Amino acid sequence: MKEQIKVLFIGDIVGRPGRKIVKDYLGSLNVLTESSPYDFIIANVENASHGFGLTEKNHKELADLGIDCFTSGNHIWDKKDVYSYINNSDRLIRPWNYPKGTYGVGYRIFDVKNTKIAVMNFLGRTFMNPVDSPWEIVEQEIEKIKEQAPVVIVDFHAEATAEKICFGRFCSEHKISAVLGTHTHVQTADEKIINDYTAYITDAGFCGAYNSVIGMSYEGSLKRLVTSIPERFDIDDSPVAELNAVSMSFDAVSGQAQSIERIQFIKDYSEENT
């Protein structure tokens, strides 16, 4: 039997509720021990610090949980101390298709279980701020990366479902192992393996308050939507939290995806508050 690589990808972590349930879920899996079911763990962290950006303190907190790689998106710059540590982080990546000279890097290669995993991060361009073409970067760089790492995983941080689906198909033609959508915070039910090679889901979902509006309080979201007047978004502090993720397995030699499965984990913390 060919050796497998098991990977867990955690959807956008939103604020303290998201960090808390990620801690509890990973703790239940014993990921810091040899009995962990996963060889490698990735999480999108662009909203991990009060819903906007990532502080250095929270970077360390999440790293200590056993998360091996942090992907991000357009909100990674919202906490300004990111500029002081992103170039020194050994696991944080920002979207690769920002202009040259942007702080940080757009991909990293990790040593995992006698093989290598490359993780790449891109922003979509539909309904998003102008960035360079992710399509061109994949065409120009993928062969060089695959020479170094057989397993290649992409976090495609994008708004439009059509763009995500098309990019997933495009990446499968370039033998990329997985394309996992982030940004909308709503887990989609379309996990599949495209062209018998690439694990795909349009959006992996989020980790945060279960009764929130994509992690934010209902009251603030309602006021903003009803009045069209800018309103401060605050993290929802209701006691029930959820974690969305996808579990995947890959052939360690070829990088071909063998399985992808959605995960939803819900926990009620109300007794802790009494």
Residues with catalytic roles: 75
User: Which strands form 115-123's sheet, in the order they lie side by side?
Assistant: 107-112, 115-123, 151-157, 178-182, 198-201, 192-194
Residues 142 and 134: their CA atoms lie apart, in Å, by: 11
| Block residue for tokens 């393996």 | 193
Closest of 247, 268, 274, 243 to residue 21, by C-alpha: 243
Residues 260 and 248: their CA atoms lie apart, in Å, by: 4
